[in-house]
């Protein structure tokens, strides 16, 4: 599934470079190493790796849960989902949704409010207009863009907790959960693993990294933070985590160029254009991956000063900011777990 291009408003720039007990092991020991299974769901490649429990049925159960979430929340499927039904009913009537979908809608609206609209769960029409990441990507005509912006307003998404219903008040509005649903799926996978007694695991949903426990040696996992200016797999530093999620938004992966200018995928809901505030990437450490998802886009579009202020007001949340001039700013908690490995970047106080 692809959650439409909105999925990439929250593009993840993280890849795991796990230092595990496999390093330096003999071939026989490596055969007895971790169990990894991969699948393509939610429009991305997903890897789940177990270290202390090698039961493949656990991973199969996790993938089944991700598929269930996909079926409820996709907007790009021949079979209608709960979200496509909600979008089709825009301007008309409310739609009953599952507990899963309602929770993600609620979280999406929360981060829309927290960011004062920099993250907007109803940005679907704008993302569709730009078509970034498809062969049809192009700068919209100003008049068309102006009309489309009128359809982006999270305040016009009504949620009724008692009835588990949602309604888009204006015809043509569209919710897109691509910027937050992967995080929810990662959290649900972690819950399944823990319920089965898994104490050491890495969940990677297309770069959304969630660590269950630490590694088998009792140390934190080492996760590489992607260099936003170089190809995928080149990292600028290492962050150490256990029982945490790391999510990043950035400008490098999906874009198109026109008249010598690059237009990236992170669209600003107020202007309708890609965000341009001097940031190239933002990494967020949280307990829950869904929170990292919502915050990564929010903070990126808020910019360095406002983003740092917001993060510093949240509990159990840390952030790293990468600027376009290759400077790195961090919250205190991020500094405690981060090591810079790339000489082209400068750590700022």
What is the reported pLDDT for 251?
82
- Based on the fold, state whether residues 238 and 305 are members of the same structural domain: yes
Distances (CA, A) of 316 to 167, 221, 263, 272, 313: 32, 18, 33, 32, 10
Contact call for residues 263 and 139 (beta carbons, < 8 A): yes
Are residue 105 and residue 217 in the same domain, yes or no? no
pLDDT at 271: 95
C-alpha span between 83 and 176 (Å, rounded): 8
In this prediction, the residues of the chain whose per-residue pLDDT falls under 70 are 1-32, 231-232, 253
- Taking a C-beta distance cutoff of 8 angstroms, is the pair 50, 193 a contact? yes
Tokens standing for residue 123: 């940005």
Residue 135: which CATH number? Answer: 1.10.3980.10
Instruction: Specify whether the CB–CB gap between 253 and 11 falls below 8 A.
Output: yes
- 272 φψ region: left (φ > 0), alpha (ψ -120 to 50), beta (else): left
At residue 312, the 3 state secondary structure works out as helix
Q: What is the pLDDT of residue 241?
A: 97
Is 173 among the domain residues? no
Domain residues for the domain of 203 are 5-67+180-347
Domain end point (choices 137, 168, 199): 168
Q: 135 CB contacts (<8 Å, ≥6 apart)? A: none
Identify the CATH number of the domain in which residue 12 sits. Answer: 3.10.520.10
The reply to whether 232 and 333 lie within a common domain is yes
Q: What pLDDT digit, counting tens, does each position of 241-273 carry?
A: 999 999 988 887 677 888 888 888 889 999 999
Q: Are residues 37 and 88 in the same domain?
A: no
Please say which residue of 168, 199, 218 terminates a domain: 168
Domain boundary among 147, 168, 189: 168
What's the gap between Cα 331 and its chain centre?
A: 20
In a domain, 330, yes or no: yes
Question: Do residues 225 and 309 lie in contact, with contact meaning Cβ atoms separated by under 8 Å?
Answer: no
- Based on the structure, what is the number of domains in the chain? 2
Do 119 and 241 share a domain, yes or no?
no
Backbone phi, then psi, for 126, in 5-degree steps? -70, -40
Q: pLDDT value at position 265?
A: 84
Relative to beta strand 208-212, strand 338-340 is: unpaired
| One domain for residues 336 and 283 | yes
242 lies in a domain?
A: yes
């Amino acid at each position: 599934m692809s959650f439409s291009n909105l999925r990439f408003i929250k593009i993840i720039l993280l890849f795991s470079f796990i230092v595990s007990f496999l390093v330096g092991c003999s071939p026989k020991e490596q055969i007895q190493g971790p169990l990894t299974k991969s699948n393509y769901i939610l429009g991305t490649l997903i890897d789940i790796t177990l270290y202390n429990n090698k039961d493949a049925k656990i991973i199969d159960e996790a993938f089944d849960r991700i598929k269930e979430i996909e079926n409820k929340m996709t907007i790009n499927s021949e079979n209608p989902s709960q979200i496509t039904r909600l979008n089709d009913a825009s301007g008309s009537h409310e739609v009953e949704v599952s507990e899963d979908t309602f929770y993600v809608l609620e979280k999406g609206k929360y981060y829309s409010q927290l960011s004062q609209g920099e993250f907007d769960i109803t940005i679907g029409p704008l993302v569709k207009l730009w078509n970034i990441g498809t062969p049809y990507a192009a700068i919209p005509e100003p008049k068309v863009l102006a009309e489309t912006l009128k359809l982006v307003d999270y305040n016009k998404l009504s949620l009724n907790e008692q009835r588990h219903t949602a309604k888009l008040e204006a015809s043509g509005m569209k919710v897109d959960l691509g910027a937050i649903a992967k995080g929810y799926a990662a959290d649900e996978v972690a819950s399944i693993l823990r319920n089965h007694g898994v104490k050491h695991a890495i969940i990677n949903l297309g770069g959304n990294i969630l660590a269950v426990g630490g590694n088998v040696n009792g140390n934190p996992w080492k996760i590489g933070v992607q260099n936003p200016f170089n190809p995928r797999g080149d990292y600028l530093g290492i962050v150490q985590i256990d029982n945490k999620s790391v999510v990043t938004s950035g400008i490098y992966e999906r874009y198109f160029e026109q008249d010598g200018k690059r237009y990236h995928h992170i669209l600003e809901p107020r202007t309708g254009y890609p965000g341009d505030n001097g940031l190239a990437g933002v990494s967020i450490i949280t307990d829950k991956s869904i929170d990292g998802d919502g915050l990564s886009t929010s903070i990126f579009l808020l910019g360095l000063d406002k983003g740092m202020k917001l993060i510093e007001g949240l509990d159990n949340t840390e952030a790293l900011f990468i600027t376009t001039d290759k400077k790195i700013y961090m919250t205190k908690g991020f500094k405690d777990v981060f090591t810079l490995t790339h000489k082209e970047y400068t750590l700022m106080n």
